[in-house]
Amino acid sequence: MVDERLRIFYDLYERRKSIRQFADRPVEPEKIERLVISLGRAQSAANRQPWHFIILSDEEARGRIRDLFTKEGFKSAPLLVVACADPSQAWVRKSDNVNYAWVDVTIAITEMIGAATAEGLGTCWVAAIDAEAVKARLGIPEKIEVVAVIPIGYPEEELKREAKTRKPISEIIHHGKW
Ligand SMILES: Cc1cc2nc3c(=O)[nH]c(=O)nc-3n(C[C@H](O)[C@H](O)[C@H](O)COP(=O)(O)O)c2cc1C
């Protein structure tokens, strides 16, 4: 049983890859609901949950920001999640004043991406978008920051492991000290 759980976990993260082309197929409402639950379940520093997520699932809602994508493939994604941070609600590390809002939002997005992968859905983390325009189009309050927009949908290509260009482990892991 434990082995099976391990296999499912590692298979999931080996399958995940950024998807930039989506099939012309809607995401079922029950799947959207489970993705939403995964966002709300994430851990956060001091459990502050300094986040808001805007779900754009119908044609009209998606149309509010669709033209802001620079890559064509994102424009046809049937579901967009706009992930926002509220630094005023976040935990701040006393020793150096680092605000953890973006870290917390990133954790929640990562959990949702894992859930989406398990659902057979493709995702791409999009940082390269005009955040101020997204805020204006969606009525996001001034003090809120747009961390990312995540297009989600059934992938055009199969979700499967492929050789990824990654730094060698030996370059990034330090044992004992740097
Ligand atoms: C914080 C972050 C921002 C990213 N922004 C973009 C983006 O704006 N546009 C894009 O096409 N991909 C974006 N990506 C996807 C990365 O390019 C991708 O994760 C990386 O090349 C590794 O490929 P993989 O996700 O298929 O493993 C982003 C990924 C992360 C984690």
- Residue 107, pLDDT above cutoff 80: yes
- Looking from the CA of residue 17, the nearest atom of ligand 1 is 26
Does residue 138 lie within any of the structural domains? yes
- Residue 42, pLDDT above cutoff 70: yes
Does residue 131 lie within any of the structural domains? yes
**CB of residue 124 inside a 6 A radius of ligand 1:** yes
d(CA 15, ligand 1 centre) in Å: 15
d(CA 142, CA 42): 25
**CB of residue 18 inside a 6 A radius of ligand 1:** yes
Ligand 1, pocket-test mutation among 18, 146, 165, most atoms within 8 A of CB: 18
Give per-residue burial for 131-144: e unless 16+ CB within 10 Å, then b: beebbebbebeeeb
Does residue 11 lie within any of the structural domains? no
Domain with 63, as residue range(s), is 29-156
**CB of residue 70 inside a 6 A radius of ligand 1:** no
Mean pLDDT of the chain: 95
- What band does 55 get if pLDDT is binned at 50, 70 and 90? very high
- What band does 162 get if pLDDT is binned at 50, 70 and 90? confident
Three-state helix/strand/coil letters over 35-67? HHHHHHCCCCHHHCCCEEEEEECCHHHHHCCHH
- Looking from the CA of residue 129, the nearest atom of ligand 1 is 8
Total count of domains within the chain: 1
**CB of residue 164 inside a 6 A radius of ligand 1:** yes
Q: What is the mean pLDDT of residues 99-111?
A: 98
Which CATH number belongs to the domain containing residue 135 in this structure?
3.40.109.10
The encoded tokens of residue 75 equal 């424009």
Does residue 9 lie within any of the structural domains? no
What's the pTM? 0.96
Residue of higher predicted confidence among 163 and 167: 167
